[in-house]
Amino acid sequence: MYNINDIIREYGYVKITALQKVNYKEEILRLKKEKNVVILGHYYIDGELQDISDFVGDSLALAQKAASTQADIILFLGVHFMAETAKILNPSKKVLLPDLNAGCSLADSCPATGFSEFLQNYPDHIVISYINTTADIKALTDIICTSSNAVQIVQSLPIDQKIVFAPDKNLGNYISSVTGRDMEIWDGACHVHQQFSLERILELKNEHPDALILAHPECNKPVLLLADYIGSTSALLKFSQTNEAQKYIIATESGILHQMRLSNPNKYFIPAPPEDSTCACNDCNFMKLNTMEKVYNTLVHELPEVILDEQLSKKAYHPIKRMLEISEQLGL
Ligand code: 13P
Ligand code: SF4
């Protein structure tokens, strides 16, 4: 007889195949209602998973939803730092993540020991960290931000306030260029956004001169310089809904194209190509670990669950709370 906790320790997810054929969509919808579960999905997960989510959004909107939910259980379809943030905001609730291996290269690019040593060089700086960080980094941070509110959060600080920004160097440099603030920036990056090919985007633009280039600020500088519009996933989606152009080249993870196509059925969306034409590297391999089968198993067994040390959770709560308060004041 198997022990389910041993399976999760070994694989990171519930690896049990149903003996009979399961209609995953039907069963997921039934189970989530029966167990009062809210499914929160990020724009980067597969389209079929976005379709069974109660709410699909960017990192800020998902944190806001997690903070206000009345559900008994939060099932997060995204990556670990997102589910962890939901747990920090709801310590008494069960927070489930279908695959514990769903990490984030950007969060991994900022280990806690290295970061606390880095901070010793900047004792009089305020620390702003992107939400794509572990709870350990959040506990070392004064204010969390996302790509939806980072510029406004930096602008809300006194002009002479010294700032450390972590972990994304591309987002940090972008914020610095928009706000004119000099910041000490940690040298981290996301492997998906880092590898869009400037050359191949230019080739696409030559083929489709009427297409607008929309880019996420996690992209590297040359891509951002080329972009017609830069914003968080929700900002890119909104731009594609309200702008009159009929064609767009999208430089961010390809999952966002699902919502863009759903809400703009007559517009044409082209995923920006990565450096290596043989891979689907504009797919985040971590986000794509979420599958219908794993979601079903997670709902049946209420596992894997995100568990956090209580003291760490309390420390990581304050900078997230501060972000939510500032965002509310700014109407974000
Ligand atoms: P946003 O959805 O906040 O734009 O974040 C993008 C991202 O990289 C999430 O991992
Ligand atoms: Fe992390 Fe990049 Fe994947 Fe977003 S796309 S979850 S930043 S690895």
**Distance in Å, CA 160 to ligand 2 centroid:** 32
Would you state the pLDDT for residue 169?
Answer: 98
Give the domain 4-102+287-308 fold.
Rossmann fold (3.40.50)
Question: 61: Cβ–Cβ under 8 A, 6 or more apart, which residues?
Answer: 55, 148, 234
> How far does CA 151 lie from the centroid of its chain?
17
The position carrying tokens 């989530």 is 32
**Distance in Å, CA 189 to ligand 2 centroid:** 9
Three-class DSSP category at 115: helix
**CA 207 to CA 278: how far, in whole Å?**
20
Query: Does 196-271 match 106-191+314-329 at the fold level?
Result: yes
Would you state the pLDDT for residue 176?
Answer: 97
- Ligand nearest to the backbone CA of 233: 1
**Distance in Å, CA 251 to ligand 1 centroid:** 12
**CA 193 to CA 283: how far, in whole Å?**
10
Q: What is the pLDDT of residues 21-35, one digit of tens each?
A: 899 999 999 999 999
Ligand 2 proximity of 190 Cβ (cutoff 6 Å): yes
pLDDT mean values, one per 10 residues, the chain (332 residues) = 86 86 95 98 98 97 95 98 97 97 98 98 98 98 97 96 98 97 97 91 95 97 97 98 97 96 96 74 92 97 97 98 95 89
Q: Which atom of ligand 2 is nearest to the CA of 253?
A: 5
Q: What does the mean pLDDT of the chain come to?
A: 95
User: How many residues are recorded in the chain?
Assistant: 332
* Residue 165 β-bridge partners: 128, 185
Q: What is the pLDDT of residues 80-112, one digit of tens each?
A: 999 999 999 999 999 999 999 999 999 999 999
Kindly report the pTM of this predicted structure.
Answer: 0.95
**What angle separates helix 292-301 from helix 24-34, to the nearest 10 degrees?**
30
Residue ranges of E strands in 267-325: 268-271
Question: 171: Cβ–Cβ under 8 A, 6 or more apart, which residues?
Answer: 130, 147, 150, 165, 217, 218
CATH of 196-271, one of 3.40.50.10800, 3.50.20.10, 3.40.250.10, 3.40.50.1220: 3.40.50.10800
Element (H, E) at 116: helix 112-119
Give the domain 106-191+314-329 fold.
Rossmann fold (3.40.50)
Q: Which residue ranges make up each domain of the chain?
A: 4-102+287-308, 106-191+314-329, 196-271
Ligand 2 proximity of 132 Cβ (cutoff 6 Å): yes
Q: What is the DSSP string of 157-222?
A: S-TT--EEEESBHHHHHHHHHHH---EEE--B--HHHHTB-HHHHHHHHHH-TTPEEEE-TTS-HH
Q: What is the pLDDT of residues 139-156, one digit of tens each?
A: 999 999 999 999 999 999
Structure tokens at 88: 């920090």
Would you state the pLDDT for residue 277?
Answer: 66
